[in-house]
Structure 1
Amino acid sequence: MLFDLTDLRLFIFVAELKSLTRAAERMHLSLAAASNRIKELESRFGMRLLYRENKGVSLSPAGETLLAHAQRFMQQVELLKSDMQQYNNGIKGHIRIFANTTAVTEFMPHVLGTFLASHPQVNVALEERLNHDIVRGVQEGTADIGVAAGAVQGQGLEIINFSTDRLVLATAADHPLAQAGSIGFAETLEYPHIGLHEGSTLQHFLNRVVTDSGDRLNLRIQVRGFDAMCRMVEANVGIGILPQSAARRHSQTMKLALVDLSDDWAVRERSIVVQKLEALPAYARELVEMIRSEASG
């Protein structure tokens, strides 16, 4: 046989981590054992799969092909585990989710809390990613499920719209814009803004809107989440753009004024992204349905 499951898991980790050492640690293998497995793979296929570099490793064209097949193969293994779980309660499942900022901080904690309580044998890895990384992760098999907002396109993927995400402006109660019934984003740019960290999907989106319009966003400070943003807004450090659901929740405990944005892009569709819904393990399909029903509600 050309390979076993350990070989494939190791190779996937090497590709994701871009490090043989870190992949070996993840697999609980010695570096020598991991290196030998990769060398044996290359010997069996008769071609180079990795380029060894000073700062890590990168995939050769043949390695990229093997990675794509390995990821699909491991997905089928997870599906097999799920189907056999009714006969063997000792088998555990694992779901990898890439999601945007709003999903990670707002509704996914509640959804996952409910899901994991009823699925004690399933583990979930939830990572905040930008929209294009979410789509690419699902396409490449790095993620089983993606949750994104706004326009989402991905060849060969199933895109399931499940709710609407509206962005609003939050200001301090005594801010000059607090009494505006509705305002265009461009009209807010003369004021200091509170932004999210650069890895945030929302901040990336707003930066692109400003760049495309030729304007400049005056970022007074950047924070890690909506709670910190709203506290800064309440203290009149600046104004902030955030989802309506988060804004309303924080306005219950903070003195904030919420103003509608009149821009068309302020209303964004939320979508679940998968390669093929029916190919997911049963427990993963159940999680998708929970996201659809609970987040849309």
Structure 2
Amino acid sequence: MLFDLTDLRLFIFVAELKSLTRAAERMHLSLAAASNRVKELESRFGMRLLYRENKGVMLSPAGETLLAHAQQFMQQLERLKSDMQQYNNGIKGHIRIFANTTAVTEFMPQVLGTFLTAHPQVNVALEERLNHDILRGVQEGTADIGVAAGPVQGQGVEIINFSTDRLVLATSLDHPLAKAGTVSFAETLEYPHIGLHEGSTLQHFLNRVVSDTGEHLNLRIQVRGFDAMCRMVESNVGIGILPQSAGLRHSQSMKLALVELRDPWAVRERSVIVQKLETLPAYARELVEYIRGSQVDASQAK
């Protein structure tokens, strides 16, 4: 055998910490033992895996390849241990989902509530991630299902569009833009904005849009969700960009004006991402169908 689990864990720590010494400490190995293990790996593969430098170590191209496979292998091992443990707890299935902000806060709670009621022996881990992390998670196998909005392209995955997500501007009723009808995002930049937290997919996207134009986004305050954003907007603290479905829902209980954004990127396709739909367990495929069947275009929302 070319390696064992200790070799793989050690190599992953070396790559993450960029230090053989610190990796050895993390693995409770002597530096000499850790160094010998890496040298043995290089000998077995017949190629250099690390470049040793004054400030630490750097992976060679071959080392980068080994790291990718080592991470996937260890992730699959953890999933195996976790999934087998579920049987001891009476659970027969586990699904890991990476999703964007809108999915996590707006429609996945209802979808999962319905799905889990119908599947009491399945549990779900739902994590909010940025779009590129969602795609990478599915590609690397750390997520079974991804839910994203906007352009998504990647190799080794199936991308299933299931609804349209339109972004709109929310203002207080007496704000200068409240009766504008339509506005461009650029027209909103002269006013203070209410933004989402930095880990939000939507905030990350808007920051990138502003950066690409060379403009500045005046973020007066950042909040954790659309409910808090709308309350700030209603109080005229600032204006906010949010999905139309969220805006319509909150406008039923708050005094808000929703203004259409003219920018082409304001209309985004929502997508489910999986490695290969037909290879998912039956209960995971059924959850994908729940997600696909739960949505209508935001323009049709009431």
Runs of 4+ in 1 over 4 A off after TM superposition: 1-8, 10-18, 30-33, 39-51, 57-81, 88-91
Native 8 Å contact 2:12 2:70 kept in 1: no
Native 8 Å contact 1:149 1:270 kept in 2: yes
Native 8 Å contact 1:233 1:256 kept in 2: yes
Aligned to 1:255: 255
Native 8 Å contact 1:163 1:269 kept in 2: yes
1:74-153 equivalent positions in 2, closer than 5 A: 90=90, 92-153=92-153
Aligned partners of 1:272 and 1:17: how far apart in 2?
Answer: 30
TM-aligned CA deviation for residue 295 of structure 1: 2.8
Native 8 Å contact 1:116 1:122 kept in 2: yes
Q: Identify unmatched segments of 5+ residues in structure 2.
A: 18-25, 52-56, 298-302
What TM-score results when the alignment is normalised by the length of structure 1?
Answer: 0.77
Deviations 1:17-71 (A, max 9, x none): 97xxxxxxxxxxx9759xx9xx9899689699899xxxxx998866754565467
Aligned partners of 1:287 and 1:215: how far apart in 2?
Answer: 41
Aligned partners of 1:139 and 1:49: how far apart in 2?
Answer: 24
Deviations 1:258-291 (A, max 9, x none): 1111111110001111111112122111111111
What TM-score results when the alignment is normalised by the length of structure 2?
Answer: 0.76
> Relative to 1, partners in 2 of residues 1:148 and 1:15: Cα closer, same or farther, differing over 3 Å?
farther
> Relative to 1, partners in 2 of residues 1:287 and 1:143: Cα closer, same or farther, differing over 3 Å?
same
Deviations 1:181-227 (A, max 9, x none): 11111111111111111111111111111121222111111111101
Aligned partners of 2:286 and 2:7: how far apart in 1?
Answer: 30
SS at match of 1:154: coil
Deviations 1:112-136 (A, max 9, x none): 1112222222222211111111111
TM-aligned CA deviation for residue 5 of structure 1: 9.2
Deviations 1:67-126 (A, max 9, x none): 654676689889999xx9xxx995632221111110111011111111222222222221
Aligned to 2:23: none
Native 8 Å contact 2:97 2:144 kept in 1: yes
Aligned to 1:220: 220
Aligned partners of 2:258 and 2:13: how far apart in 1?
Answer: 47
Native 8 Å contact 1:78 1:93 kept in 2: no
> Relative to 1, partners in 2 of residues 1:144 and 1:230: Cα closer, same or farther, differing over 3 Å?
same
SS at match of 2:106: helix
Native 8 Å contact 1:157 1:273 kept in 2: yes
Aligned partners of 2:235 and 2:250: how far apart in 1?
Answer: 14
Aligned to 2:199: 199
When the two chains are superposed, the root-mean-square deviation of aligned CA atoms in Å is 4.2
Q: Counterpart of 2:93 in structure 1: which amino acid?
A: G
SS at match of 2:147: strand
Aligned partners of 1:123 and 1:6: how far apart in 2?
Answer: 30
Q: Counterpart of 2:245 in structure 1: which amino acid?
A: S
Percent identity between matched residues is: 79
